[in-house]
Amino acid sequence: MEKRTRIFFFCLLQLTIGKAQDDLLSLLGDDEPVTEFATAAFKTNRVINLHSIESTAGGVLDVKISHRFGFVNGGPSELFGLDQASIRIGADYGITNRFTVGFGRSSYEKTYDGFLKYKFLRQSNGAKVMPITAAFLATTAIKTIPWANPDRENYTSSRLYYTFQLLLGRKFSERFSIQFSPSLVHRNLVRTKAESNDVLAIGVAVRQKLTKRVALNAEYVYILPNQLADGYRNSLSIGFDIETGGHVFQLHFTNSTSMIEKGYIGETIGDWRNGGVHFGFNVSRVFTLKK
């Protein structure tokens, strides 16, 4: 009987010690909520033409090849655009998880471009609640195509273009995300007096995930009234992201020939209504250079 009593009190002591440890951990904050950040609102740091709210991870190099065939309305003689091509090759590098730099070269107007992008807000829940992700983008581009009139005095500064964008986005669910991109494009030189040096626009982009590896993307860039010169149109693009391991393929249709901001904002000439649309693709391959 005495032995049973000792065993009983020993078990009771162990339970008491265990409960005291749990209470102590609770006092130390073990049960406090943690901050959970939203990830992969868009699959890459581009939607189609527009930059997305996503950044290239720190220490990662993202090599991109972007390709546009000619306009579909070129007909059978142009194999519905497949006889023509415009290409951009670029590389984006994550300085940190929030700060990305990039550089590229386009065959269209033989343009070189570079950008800086910084994500200053991250969508989150839990201990810290932030309803959106926000980033700032600044780009510059220079055309190197030969001067139309080489006999007159020409200035290198006339070939420079600058773009500033505020990227505001939210991932509403595992399948659906939306983004708004207020934009300002400054052109040092324009073709005619009818064109403005500054162009204000608002881009909107959506992503709908269809399967584990396929998503539908769409984007539209609306130029504010009285800023588009005759012959130019708003940019509209629709396409699919297809993820295959280390690569992401983006297949799309767009009425924009240029793949950088100064081109698809304010210089889009294609008209969806008469087949003025390019079929194209972006291919992204990432390399981890620094862990």
Residue 10's CB is within 10 A of a number of other CB atoms, namely: 9
C-alpha separations of 113 from 1, 22, 68, 132, 137 in Å: 88, 58, 17, 28, 13
Which range marks the domain in which residue 155 is found?
Answer: 35-288
Residues 195, 131, single domain; the answer is yes
Is residue 2 predicted with pLDDT exceeding 60?
A: no
Is residue 71 predicted with pLDDT exceeding 50?
A: yes
What pLDDT was estimated at residue 227? 77
Residues 17, 39, single domain; the answer is no
Rg (CA), the chain: 26
Confidence of residue 291 (pLDDT cuts 50, 70, 90): confident
What pLDDT was estimated at residue 50? 96
CATH number, domain with residue 133: 2.40.160.40
Residues 24, 119, single domain; the answer is no
3-state secondary structure of 7: helix
Residues 28, 39, single domain; the answer is no
Counting Cβ atoms within 10 Å, is residue 201 exposed (0-12), middle (13-18) or buried (19+)? buried
Is residue 4 predicted with pLDDT exceeding 70?
A: no
What's the mean pLDDT when you consider all of the chain?
87
* Interatomic CA distance for residues 17 and 32, integer angstroms: 22
Residues 101, 237, single domain; the answer is yes
The secondary structure element, H or E, covering residue 10 is helix 2-27
Residues 114, 19, single domain; the answer is no
Q: What pLDDT digit, counting tens, does each position of 142-175 carry?
A: 999 988 788 788 888 889 999 999 999 999 999 9
Residues 91, 127, single domain; the answer is yes
Q: What pLDDT digit, counting tens, does each position of 181-195 carry?
A: 999 999 998 877 777
Residues 133, 24, single domain; the answer is no
Average pLDDT of the residues in 91-109? 95
Q: 219 versus 231: which is more confidently predicted?
A: 219
Counted domains in the chain: 2
Task: Look at 112-116, 196-200, 217-221 and tell me which has the smallest mean pLDDT.
Answer: 196-200
What pLDDT was estimated at residue 126? 86
Is residue 52 predicted with pLDDT exceeding 60?
A: yes
Question: How far from chain centre, in Å, is Cα 217?
Answer: 11
Residues 7, 55, single domain; the answer is no
Is residue 21 predicted with pLDDT exceeding 70?
A: no
Residues 65, 131, single domain; the answer is yes
Residue 13's CB is within 10 A of a number of other CB atoms, namely: 10
What pLDDT was estimated at residue 77? 86
Q: 54 versus 194: which is more confidently predicted?
A: 54
* Interatomic CA distance for residues 185 and 104, integer angstroms: 18
Q: 22 versus 228: which is more confidently predicted?
A: 228
Residues 94, 203, single domain; the answer is yes
Residues 12, 54, single domain; the answer is no
What pLDDT was estimated at residue 241? 93
Average pLDDT of the residues in 193-201? 86
Is residue 127 predicted with pLDDT exceeding 80?
A: yes
| Phi/psi of residue 110, nearest 5 degrees | 45, 60
DSSP for 244-291, please give it. Answer: ETTEEEEEEEES----SHHHHTT-B---GGGT--EEEEEEEEEEE---
Tell me the residue ranges of DSSP E strands in the chain: 35-37, 60-71, 85-94, 99-106, 111-121, 124-126, 133-143, 160-171, 176-187, 198-209, 214-223, 235-244, 247-254, 278-288
